[in-house]
Amino acid sequence: MSDTTRYIGLITAPGYPNEIGARLQNELPSLLDYYVKEEIDWKIDYLEDPLLGGGANSKEVLEATKKKKEDKEWDYAVCLTDIPLFIGNRMIVAEANEEEDIALISMPSFGSTLMIRRLRESIMQLVNEMYYGSSEESRERSALRIESKRSKHKGIDVNDSKNLMTNRFFGWLSPLKRETPKDEVEGYIDVRFTVARRGSISIRLLAGMVRANRPWSLFPAFMKILIIAFATGSYALVFPTLWLLSEHYTIFRMCLLTVFSIIAMTIWIILIHRLWERKRDQNNNYTRKLYNATTFLTLLITVCIYYVMLFCLFLVGVFVFIPMGMLEDQLTGTPGLSNYFYIAWIAASVATVIGALGTALEDEDVVLNATYGYRQRKRQEQLREKRENVEDKENESLTK
């Protein structure tokens, strides 16, 4: 390895963090030239680890990151975890240990917008902290370099050696606090960025967790329900009941039926697949509420996507199955295209309630993996199995 080459490992959990890590792998080298040091040839390695984030606190995540760094012989390692991390009543955004050259970023703390930009800037800052150091003297030395790099680079204008990100609105809405713990209890880190846990922070964290769940990726698990619901609704289309309802239902009633059907289906899925976190599953009350809210919103978005697709299918079916002449015979007024629209709308709501509520999802694992509590328990079980296998091998070698 050349003295002027530095390898940085990006470690992510499978799923959405995985996609982000793959993209950053191509973007970071030139940014690190700009913000850390041009004389170094920055190489970015990328790795996903399904066990990453199994720890309940940041120290355990950093220890796992350190081990992976040593195994891969990287110079620096940055963990992009999809798990929200807390210390007291504060939410951890990022941490770094300059002695071990390891860092972590809690992606849900960024919210659901400008994710790539915030990650780029955060990784640049953390590598800068690990390269130059986190002390006041080291930050001053880094500031001299930043002062010589005032020009913008790919939309990033870093002007402070102590800021994790440069987004002004983000900083105004929820200002980050930079900490450099010195006590023995927190000696495993040199710098930490946190934000106070307030109502607005909870909303942003919730949005970030929902995005990390990628609600759109759950839709394939809904295919069985979609087929059953469409078959049920299509059978109902040939009878005039829905036609008459389309003439008498108001927009308010139809919207109310839509909301009821979507929420009912969401709650049914949570109940039948036991997705709700209980006290015995998660002792921390705040975390349990956060996980449950994330599960509900993730499924709600997925069900909304399902409902829109079901409506589109019924809209086509209405035009195919119902001639305009038959509508004229059944309705008191003069029918038009709006009646077709309303019939499809009612059919989608009714089919969701009647045809889908009694059906479990086709691929339960897909849905379970979209819940934070299940992912955490699964990772912890895998970690325990891995440790037991290592211990068994050690015991076997001792007995030989």
Using one digit for the tens of pLDDT, what is the confidence trace for 38-67? 788 898 888 888 666 555 678 888 888 898
Characterize 248-276 residue by residue with b for buried, 16 or more Cβ atoms within 10 angstroms of its Cβ, and e for exposed: ebeeeebeebbeebbebbbbbbbeebebb
- Tens of pLDDT, residue by residue, the chain (400 residues): 456 889 999 988 776 666 777 778 788 888 888 788 878 889 888 888 866 655 567 888 888 889 899 999 999 999 988 888 888 778 888 999 988 999 999 888 887 677 788 888 888 889 988 988 888 888 777 777 666 665 555 555 555 667 776 655 455 556 788 888 876 556 678 889 888 766 566 777 788 888 877 787 777 777 777 888 888 788 777 777 777 777 778 889 889 999 999 998 888 888 887 888 777 766 677 778 888 888 899 889 988 998 999 999 998 888 887 777 777 677 766 667 777 888 889 888 888 877 566 566 666 666 776 677 667 667 766 666 766 666 666 666 666 5
Q: Which of 272, 266, 294 is nearest to 373 (CA)?
A: 294
Q: What is the pLDDT of residue 233?
A: 80
What does residue 283 show for φ and ψ, rounded to 5 degrees? Answer: -75, -35
Burial class (CB in 10 A: 0-12, 13-18, 19+), 150: exposed
pTM for this prediction: 0.76
Characterize 17-54 residue by residue with b for buried, 16 or more Cβ atoms within 10 angstroms of its Cβ, and e for exposed: bbebbeebeeebeebbebbbbeebebbbebbbbebbbb
Q: Give the chain's length.
A: 400
Half-sphere exposure of 221 (CA within 13 A, CB side): 20
Please give the single-letter amino acid code of residue 2: S
Q: What is the pLDDT of residue 169?
A: 47
Dmax over CA atoms of the chain, in Å, equals: 91
Q: What is the pLDDT of residue 380?
A: 67
Burial class (CB in 10 A: 0-12, 13-18, 19+), 214: middle
Q: What is the pLDDT of residue 272?
A: 81
The DSSP-derived string for 230-255 is: HHHHHHHHTSTHHHHHHHH--HHHHH
The DSSP-derived string for 15-35 is: SHHHHHHHHHHHHHHHHHHHH
What span, in angstroms and rounded, lies between the C-alpha atoms of 10 and 26?
Answer: 12
Q: What is the pLDDT of residue 184?
A: 55
Q: Are 80 and 66 in contact (CB under 8 A)?
A: no
CATH for 5-206 is 3.40.390.10
pLDDT digits over 111-168, tens only?
A: 767 778 888 888 888 998 898 888 888 877 777 766 666 555 555 555 566 777 665 5
In the chain, where are the structural domains located? 5-206, 216-382
Residue with token string 């849900």: 108
